[in-house]
Amino acid sequence: MSKMAALIRAHDWAGSPLGPIKAWPGSLRTALDIILPSGFPTLLAWGPRFIPIYNDALIPLAGARHPSALGQPMEEAWTEIWAASGPLCRRARAGETITLRDLVMHVERDGQPQETWFTASLSPVRDDEGKAGGVMVVLAETASRALTNQAPREGSFPRPRQPPEAHPPSADGSAERDEAEHRLRTSEERLAAIFAQAAVGLSEVGGDGRFLAVNDALCRILGRSREDLLGLAVADVTHPDDVPPSIVALTRAAAGGEPASLDKRYLRPDGSRVWASSTVTRLQDRNGQPGNFLVVTADLTERRKAEEALRLSEERVRQFAEASTNVLWIRDAETLQWEFLSPAYEPIYGQSRAAALAGDTLHSWAALVHPEDRDEALGALDRVRAGEHVTLEYRIVRPSDGAVCWLRTTDFPIRDGEGRVVRIGGIGQDVTEAKATAARMEVLVAELQHRSRNILGLVQAMARQTRRDAASLDVFVERFDARLGALARANRLLSRLGAWDRITFDELLQTELQAHGALGSEDRRRQVTLDGPPGVQLRSAMVQTFALALHELATNAVKHGALSHPEGRLAVRWWLDTKADDEKWLHVHWSEHGMPNAVPDAGERRGSGRELIERALPYQLGAEVNYELGPERVECRIALSISSGDPGR
């Protein structure tokens, strides 16, 4: 990397009229690619303020102005000569190519000051839109002499002056001619050396497009020998699609006399392609008439590869952002204004991206954040701007529907090459449903613990009651297993996915009757009548005890009651009633008829099953129970509240 390339890269351009390097137009970057490696002292004055940027060869001519002149307007950097050079720069920027001969500058070589003559060319440089962008000043040295008694004037700009006489004047002027011819030969030799050694490709092209002279750099760029190129025309080494614009550039340079530039593809002998920026300038012969063309070619292949790699990387990021259900965003670290929002922003925030990116985006975003979370969310941005990675959960109020949504965001700093935080990136996820699920799980765990305690107590009480009425261990096991089965069936209903607090009476009743075979065969179904509104929801806390009561009724009906005789009939009817305080009550009437051998107060009907119905239901569920056992009939009426205000749900 040249000295000036390093200085330009390190210079703080943000405060200059050109702005930061990353915002420079492509035409300015291309012009720099041409002048920086050039062996000619070259200065590029860009923009309406003519901001100077120059190459290493110009440093000795800048004198004490180097490097302070870099980035300053010309009228400030070279104040003493701006009155004379300013109009020339403005003419060149307006489109005119100006050539100045016999300009003198002071250059220090080998520790000795020398007064040196140059020929200067001022030509316009177009910007990306084809308008005047700046002026390129190229200097070619013609002659010099040592100054023994005069110190160099630091920072001087080229000024017109006649070259000194090398010999005393003679009558026939032969000494002057010899000196002029010597100077011309010296200049031509120096130009030939520069042409051959330049880091950019240089070529002289005839009006028919054929190469007349090429340097080593162009041979390297095109991958061909000098002998090969001198037998070819520009069209022979140009990609077919780029031949027409190349002809247009030559025609424009020939017609207007102004340099014409274009980016194009060249073809190498191995079939590979190389991108290059070519600038075509019409030369003049010694008589000032239009001559051949000078083509300056800068290899852009690596830059094109880098640009393509960057484009592909940005495309992959764009595709990722568009496919993600999480919102991706980028803010300017200084202003905290949004620079980018992914499409997922709209469904999550309930607002269009266009609206979010309009105006003061920080203020409009903060207005969406829940007031209780706003200070913490804004504080997180300051922490990231200071270099932290922050994960935060906060609420927003969606403007589309007024819904309060929870977001979990991970914010992180994005740094430049010098480690400064220049942007803030973030990934936001809608965790509203996850928050609700977590809350439901807490309720379910608490409910499970509550039910576990209840069922253990219920099993314990059931075991004691069954043991008290059982005549033998076998009877105890039979009855206890049956009651555990009823309890298990109730719990299966309660533990279904989504079934919490939504078990219905008709579900519970049919489950018990089916378990006892009461709804099995066709004959059995003719014995049973079920009549009541479907979907009457029971409180979860009442299901287990209620299931045991229905189990006892069904067990007795199958063993001793209506379902133990073919003539017997079982009818279960239920209905809802609302009391004055809007409390809903469920009424159940269990009726068995057609039992010729039924005896009032039979032992089995006076056992623990009836005791559970008549005592446990009122005690545990606050139910009202009326149980009647008579000749050839059983009547059981149960009424209980099913309103959800009870803490037991």
Average pLDDT over residues 248-274: 86
Instruction: Please tell me which residue, 223 or 617, carries the higher pLDDT value.
Output: 223
Q: Using the predicted structure, report yes or no on whether residue 505 has a pLDDT greater than 60.
A: yes
pLDDT of res. 78: 81
pLDDT of res. 567: 86
Q: How do residues 296-337 score in pLDDT, each as one tens digit?
A: 998 887 777 777 787 887 788 778 878 788 999 999 999 999
Listed in sequence order, the residues at least 6 apart from 538 whose beta carbon sits closer than 8 Å to its beta carbon are 503, 504, 505, 508, 546, 586, 642
What is the pLDDT confidence band of residue 147, given thresholds at 50, 70 and 90? very low
* Secondary structure of residue 501 in the 3-state scheme: coil
pLDDT of res. 228: 92
What is the pLDDT confidence band of residue 84, given thresholds at 50, 70 and 90? confident
* Secondary structure of residue 330 in the 3-state scheme: strand
pLDDT of res. 46: 93
Of the candidate ranges 97-111, 123-137, 603-617, the one whose mean pLDDT is the lowest: 603-617
Average pLDDT over residues 416-421: 88
Token pair of 273, please? 């392609």
Give the separation between CA 140 and CA 117, rounded to whole angstroms: 8
Helices (H) and strands (E) in the chain, counts: 21, 21
Of the candidate ranges 100-109, 122-131, 517-526, 628-637, the one whose mean pLDDT is the lowest: 100-109
Instruction: Please tell me which residue, 442 or 210, carries the higher pLDDT value.
Output: 210
Average pLDDT over residues 274-299: 84
Q: Using the predicted structure, report yes or no on whether residue 164 has a pLDDT greater than 80.
A: no
* DSSP state for residue 162 in the 8-state scheme: P
H/E segment holding residue 432: helix 432-469
Please report, rounded to a whole number, the percentage of residues in the chain having pLDDT higher than 90. Answer: 27
Residue with tokens 């009549």: 531
pLDDT of res. 157: 38
pLDDT of res. 497: 42
**List of domains in the chain:** 3-164 (3.30.450.20), 201-304 (3.30.450.20), 325-430 (3.30.450.20), 436-641 (3.30.565.10)
CB 27 within 8 A of CB 128: yes
pLDDT of res. 494: 66
Token pair of 98, please? 């100006």
Q: Using the predicted structure, report yes or no on whether residue 112 has a pLDDT greater than 70.
A: no
Average pLDDT over residues 507-520: 80
Token pair of 435, please? 């928050």
Instruction: Please tell me which residue, 545 or 336, carries the higher pLDDT value.
Output: 336
What is the pLDDT confidence band of residue 166, given thresholds at 50, 70 and 90? very low
Please report, rounded to a whole number, the percentage of residues in the chain having pLDDT higher than 70. Answer: 79
Q: Average model confidence (pLDDT) for the chain?
A: 80
Task: Report helix angle 473-494 to 432-469, nearest 10.
Answer: 160
* Helix runs in 470-582, H state only: 473-494, 505-515, 522-527, 540-559
Q: Using the predicted structure, report yes or no on whether residue 561 has a pLDDT greater than 90.
A: no
Strands 528-531 and 569-578: what pairing? parallel
Q: Using the predicted structure, report yes or no on whether residue 56 has a pLDDT greater than 50.
A: yes
Which amino acid does the sequence have at 433? E
Residue 627 has φ and ψ, to the nearest 5°, of: -115, 120
Decide: pTM greater than 0.85. Answer: no
pLDDT of res. 178: 64
pLDDT of res. 53: 93
Task: Compute and round to an integer the Cα radius of gyration of the chain.
Answer: 49
Q: Using the predicted structure, report yes or no on whether residue 152 has a pLDDT greater than 50.
A: no
* DSSP state for residue 238 in the 8-state scheme: B
Average pLDDT over residues 507-536: 84
What residues pair up with 327 in beta bridges, in sequence order? 428
Give the separation between CA 588 and CA 501, rounded to whole angstroms: 20
